[in-house]
Structure 1
Amino acid sequence: MGRSSRHATPSTAGRPAPAFLAAFESTYLPGPDRDVAESTGHDLRWRADLDAVADRGIRTVRYPVRWHRIEPEPGRYDWSATDAALEHLRERGVDPVVDLVHHTSYPGWLADGFRDPRFRGAYVAFAEAVATRYPWLTSYTLFNEPFATLFLAGHEGLWPPYDRGIPGFARLLLSVLPALSEASACWSQLLPEARHLWVDTCEHHAGAAGAPGTYAQLANDRRHAVLDLALGHDLDPDRPFLGELLRAGAEPLVDLPPVRVDVVGLDYYCHSEWWYDERGSRAPSPHPVGFAAIAEQYAARYDRPLVLSETNLRGLPSDRASWLRYVLEQYELAVSRGVPLEGLCWFPFVDSCDWDSLLARPAGRPDPVGVVSLGPGGERLPTTFTAVWEAAAAGSPAAELPAYRFQPPCDAQLAGFLPQMAHWPWEDPPAVDAVAPIRIPEDREEPAVSDIPVTSREPDLVVLSHLRWVWVWQRPQHLVSRFAALRAPSGARTWFVEEPVAGEVAAPEIGTEERDGVTRVWLVVPRRPDQPEFLGFDDDAAGAYGRLLAEFLTSAGRPAEPDVLLYTPMALDIAEALVPGRLSYDVMDDLASFLRAPEGLRLRQRRALAEADVVFAGGRSLHRSVRSHRNGEV
């Protein structure tokens, strides 16, 4: 289904320009009790931010209703900040698409997050209160990116409540989808003319022939599972992923009263397209089909109007300008093919914060993705991209926008997209955006592991992480890439050891890849029926991980007693199998203190804190939390 967008140049003659939406980021970090609106200063600068949007002619804004701040304790609502912002938008003639839950933006007193037994009742009551208080609203989003949010929180264990695997994903769906169904019925009754914009990731998966291609088919089925369950659409238990999900406990959702969905929002980023081959999985895909082709697939499946509800690019302003040209060109192409698109939203208007750690800690680090940039003091700074976005929002077609050459690292990340841009009139970025490259000799080759001489006086560094190197560039990647660069001149190697994966092997075996100056290492275990691809360090099939890793390093000629850096206590047994010279533990989040944390996690956490030579804590609250388990410094 769908067609490739390669080399296509649509005609825009006679077609109206897309309606541009603006948006503001507000995701709440429950542990540190801080949200992105506070990190960016929008909570204090909201009036000027909203005026900046309205003054540029924008008439629709995706805007958060911050439940976590409105209901600081059960049943007590403080509407003052929300009243002021929504009324100001109304005065300026801007229509808000209110967003009731943006990722983990629920009240902190829901201690077990989406798994908390109080979630359903509290959420439905809050949703009803919003609809009752603002009966003039014309558009709303009941839950932003439910698939992406619950997958990261329930399947990948990256966000609270840190559940894992398909059973964990099913548990969160059983808590959240009935609540959405009930809230949808409430809003349909109270605001029957308002439109529900369902917003979620717009994905496409492809792979090489054989097992990679088979997994891509499962992932393409997975992308639709949550919306299909919400709508009661195509719930065939023989579907590859949906069937696994139903067997894992989600079967009661088949009989869920359907959620009302008037418009489907597609969040499309360069990393929305994945590729699978013998090297594993990676995004952005080296072989993307483009937004137009994917939008055709969603339009045919759901037969509803669509909005390109989010896109951005983490890069320099000139990189963002060229990505906007690409996305707008794809939007125009989709419309020329009959896809019922109603608008385009660059998300967010102001730079976000702390996505470099996937919101693991509120460091206040700007994420360079916004229409306007964050200055050192929180000031809003217009850039090259601001002017390009303003032109597009005013109606300029893609062909009239500049085509700046992508700069590192975007040039490498987007290499697969370049054939779709072959017809562009490329030009150098403006001098203000140009960054001088670091020249590396062209004949330089990455040495094989076995060819690296063991001349180091500094020990190798082995990093044991629950976050994979090729995911979003987060705290481990920031730190470890620097550690690797500092150690490399002495001949020391840095090994980034990831959680096991299921694959087509007869017995567990070690896989490696050279990437960004480190060596990725992972254990491939034989695939079992109904088993997720990504497993935990504590999976029964990974019992030999520590021994196999130690044997691998020895066979590579590496010195004994490496430094070991731990990012999850679940890998402590593997660390001990390496007999580390020094053991460090970087506590990104106190998972063991979370409600219903597994006892094994609690015990390993206490052991890791007690046994580590050095412990790092990502913030004051974590520092206080871990000090009680330490005799040494933190």
Structure 2
Amino acid sequence: MDSIAGTAHDRWAFQDHEILKRCGVETAREAFRWHLIERGAGLYDWSSARGQVQGALEAGVEVIWDICHWGLPEGLDVMDRDWPRRLADFAVACARMLEQEGAPAAGLVPVNEIAFWAWAGGETGRFAPFLVGQGDMLKAQLVRGHLTAVDALRDAGVRAPIVLCEPLIWIAPQDESERAVRDASRYRAAALDSVAAILDADPSAVDMLGLNHYPHNQWVLGGPRIAADDVNYRRLSLLLGDVLKRFPVPLALAETGAEEPDGDAWLAYVTEELKAAQRADIFLEGVCIYPVMDYAGWDNERHCPCGLIGRDGETRFVRPGQRDAIRALSSLLRVSAGRT
């Protein structure tokens, strides 16, 4: 699926970013569509990206760019031996293109959600490369891709911050048995072991760890989703503390939000949890409402209303509750930015 085309953002990028800017959002996440850009090994057609780049630039919004958000050029298998090098070459080409357009990146995400892609594409066969029971193998390949891309970017003199975006989850054991508790703990740790692998290989390969956290990111191992009023539910502020103890790097929420009619309540919860985190001396670099605009669902292409920008066809409108929640979050983040 091409959600950028599906939302007509490729044609309305300026208007979309102008809405963000009016609501106080001056930094956004976007993705290069690798599958459209690389026509052959090292042959790049930037026509699909220029509208996005110039739209943000003209609106005065800086962008953190995803280099590989799961999509690949035709004929390139993520498990190919040369995939990490192809990714690295593309990453450098993207950075050069942004410099030429006068819009240097606010950050670069070499590979989006390594842990999720490894599960969906390597363990369960839901995503390309449609492998089953080989999640660790795919995860290792994606980690190699990240490290190879970072090395190439630094060798090319690209100094944009490197952002690693990974899911933030909580999994409770099925019961209180020693085995169940151990299995749940191992599963939770594995969700961020790609971060550990990258930092162990090169501590400079991550400038900021972005955590993706949604209402559905907590469940019982092998069982149902955990509701917010369940005794097993772990508050976001505590989850952030868990991560900071394991990885002492700058943190952000790289994706968060909820589908309507729950969007405002979820962002109110996030705001309160960030206040609690700050009281515990945990400060975030940013919060990304994601998706920020209605889109077509992955599984059935239904209209998914979410985020700040609602859509009626190609007509855009602002959800006042989301706008007000974003302003409240912005005030909190200013506290983070001004801390000593």
TM-score interval w.r.t. the shorter chain? 0.7 to 0.9
> In structure 2, which of residues 120, 129, 138 is the aligned counterpart of residue 172 of structure 1?
138
- Counting only pairs closer than 5 Å after superposition, residues 468-547 of structure 1 correspond to structure 2 as none
Q: 1:185 aligns with which of 128, 140, 151?
A: 151
Match in the other structure for 2:172 = 206
Q: Distance in 1 between matches of 2:213 and 2:66?
A: 18
Deviations 1:166-190 (A, max 9, x none): xx11321343222221111122233
Q: Where do residues 217-228 of structure 1 align in structure 2 (5 Å cutoff)?
A: 217-228=185-196
Q: 1:370 aligns with which of 283, 302, 307?
A: 307
Residue 284 (structure 1) aligned to one of 226, 241, 257? 226
Deviation of the 1:106 alpha carbon: 1.4
Q: Residue type matched to 2:5 in 1?
A: E
Q: Which runs of 5+ in 1 are unaligned?
A: 1-28, 30-34, 233-255, 358-362, 398-634
Aligned runs of 1:262-273 on 2, under 5 Å?
Answer: 262-273=207-218
Aligned pair partner of 1:86 in 21, 43, 53: 53
Deviation at 1:303, TM superposition (A): 0.7
Structure 2: state its 5+ residue gaps. 334-340
Q: What amino acid sits opposite 2:49 in the alignment?
A: T
Counterpart code for 2:331:
G
CA distance in 1, matches of 2:172, 2:108: 33
Per-residue CA deviations over 1:386-420 (Å, capped at 9, x if unaligned) read 443354356389xxxxxxxxxxxxxxxxxxxxxxx
Structure 1: how far apart are the matches of 2:311 and 2:34?
25
1:257 CA displacement: 5.3
| Distance 1:131-1:345 versus aligned 2 partners, 3 A rule | same
How far the C-alpha of 1:267 sits from its partner, in A, is 0.8
Amino acid at match of 2:143: L
More helix as a share of residues: 2
Match of 1:126 among 68, 90, 110: 90
Q: Does residue 302 in structure 1 map to residue 302 in structure 2?
A: no
Equivalent positions of 1:421-436 (< 5 A) are: none
| Secondary structure, aligned partner of 1:142 | strand
Residue 301 of structure 1 and its aligned partner are, at CA, apart by 1.1
Q: Using the alignment, how far apart are the partners of 1:67 and 1:206 within structure 2?
A: 37
The answer as to 2:257 corresponding to 1:312 is: yes
Distance (Å, rounded) in 2 between the aligned partners of 1:191 and 1:330? 38
3-state secondary structure, aligned to 1:115: coil
**2:336 corresponds to:** none
Paired letter, 1:160? A
Q: Report the Cα distance in structure 1 between the residues aligned to 2:40 and 2:329, rounded to whole angstroms.
A: 41
- Contact 1:97 1:138 (8 Å CA) reproduced: yes
For residue 204 of structure 1, what is the amino acid of its counterpart? W
Is 1:230 paired with 2:198? yes
Aligned partner (choices 219, 224, 232) of residue 274 of structure 1: 219
Partner amino acid, structure 2, of 1:100: I
**2:337 paired residue number:** none
CA-to-aligned-CA distance 1:10-44 (integer Å, 9 cap, x gap): xxxxxxxxxxxxxxxxxxx4xxxxx1111122122
- Residue in structure 1 matched with residue 319 of structure 2 by the alignment: 383
Q: Which amino acid aligns with 1:292?
A: S
Change (3 A) 1:183 1:209: same
- Find out whether 1:140 has 2:77 as its counterpart: no
CA distance in 1, matches of 2:323, 2:281: 30
Counterpart Cα distance in 1 of 2:120 and 2:107:
27
Pairing partner for 1:160 from 125, 128, 137 = 128
Aligned counterpart for 1:293 among listed residues 238, 262, 271 = 238
Aligned to 1:331: 274
Equivalence map 1:327-366=2 (5 Å): 327-355=270-298, 357=299, 364-366=301-303
Q: Please say which structure displays the higher CA radius of gyration.
A: 1
* Counterpart AA for 1:304: V
Q: Could you tell me whether the CA contact under 8 Å between 2:13 and 2:55 is conserved in 1?
A: no
1:579-590 correspondence to structure 2 within 5 Å: none
What displacement does 1:88 show? 3.5
SS at match of 1:270: coil
Q: Which of structures 1 and 2 has the larger relative contact order (alpha carbons within 8 angstroms, sep 6+)?
A: 2
Is the 8 Å Cα contact of residues 138 and 193 (structure 1) preserved in structure 2?
no
- How far is 1:161 from its partner? 1.3
Please report how far the alpha carbon of residue 55 of structure 1 lies from its aligned counterpart in structure 2 after TM superposition.
2.2
> In structure 1, how many angstroms separate the alpha carbons of the residues matched to 2:49 and 2:145?
23
Instruction: Tell me the CA shift for residue 258 of structure 1.
Output: 5.7
1:36 aligns with 2:3: yes
The alpha carbon displacement at 1:122 in A equals: 1.9
Deviation of the 1:352 alpha carbon: 2.3
SS in 2 for 1:154: helix
Is residue 72 of structure 2 the alignment partner of residue 97 of structure 1? no
- Which amino acid in 2 is paired with 1:161? P
CA RMSD of aligned residues (A): 2.2
Preserved contact between residue 67 and residue 101 of structure 1 (Cα < 8 Å): yes
Aligned residue in 2 for 1:106: 72
Q: TM-score, normalised by structure 2?
A: 0.88
Residues 1:109 and 1:94: Cα distance change in structure 2 (over 3 Å)? same
How far, CA to CA, are the matches of 2:263 and 2:72 in structure 1? 31
CA distance 1:221–1:365, change in 2 (3 Å): same
Match of 1:54 in 2: 21
Q: CA 1:143/1:214 → structure 2, altered by over 3 Å: closer, same or farther?
A: same
